[in-house]
Amino acid sequence: MKNDSNYPDINGLLGDLGNLVSDNSTPAVPVDTPVDTPGQVQSDMGDDDWELFRKNLSLYNFREKKDDRMICKLDRDLADSLDDCDFDRKCRSDIVNAIVRTFVNRYLPRLRQYKRNNRSLLDSTPT
């Protein structure tokens, strides 16, 4: 269900995503967690994240060829939801990149703990 602006109702976009279950059988997003709707922000941090998303999205130019792109498959419901949005005529890939950049910038300290420390036989010294 779309509102009067260019942005669709986030509750409609999320659909059943609030019912997703993670590997440890706890909801990934609790069903009773409030969801932002257009014009309503749950916290001050939400505003900062939204502005960072908009800034990251503005880095991408319309119809500019981007040779350094990798393929990443999205769930159909996410792809359809993003296609329902019109962020200054940006393509789905630009939107996804801006979302991921925002997430990485926001949670960089936490993400660092998951960085792989690849070990190789080439790194060891002979005994």
Please give the pLDDT value at position 47. 86
| Residue 95 CA neighbour count, 13 Å, CB half | 16
How much is the average pLDDT of 1-14?
51
For residue 45, is it within any domain?
yes
Which among 100, 97, 94, 99 has a CA at the least distance from the CA of 61?
A: 94
Identify the band that residue 124 occupies on the pLDDT scale cut at 50, 70 and 90: confident
Range of weakest confidence among 18-32, 49-63, 69-83: 18-32
Contact by Cβ (8 Å): 56, 98: yes
For residue 34, is it within any domain?
yes
For residue 117, is it within any domain?
no
pTM of the model: 0.56
- Structurally, the chain folds into a number of domains equal to 1
- CA dist 19 to 22, 26, 83, 126, Å? 10, 10, 22, 52
According to the 3-state scheme, what is the secondary structure of 45-89? HHHHHHHHHHHHHHCCCCCCCCCCCCCCCCCHHHHHHHHCCCCCC
Query: Does the pLDDT at position 106 exceed 90?
Result: yes
Residue given tokens 């997003």 in the structure block: 29
For residue 2, is it within any domain?
no
Which among 102, 88, 98 has a CA at the least distance from the CA of 66?
A: 98
Q: Which residues span the domain enclosing 88?
A: 10-60+67-108
For residue 113, is it within any domain?
no
For residue 121, is it within any domain?
no
- CA dist 41 to 8, 87, 111, Å? 15, 18, 25
For residue 56, is it within any domain?
yes
For residue 122, is it within any domain?
no
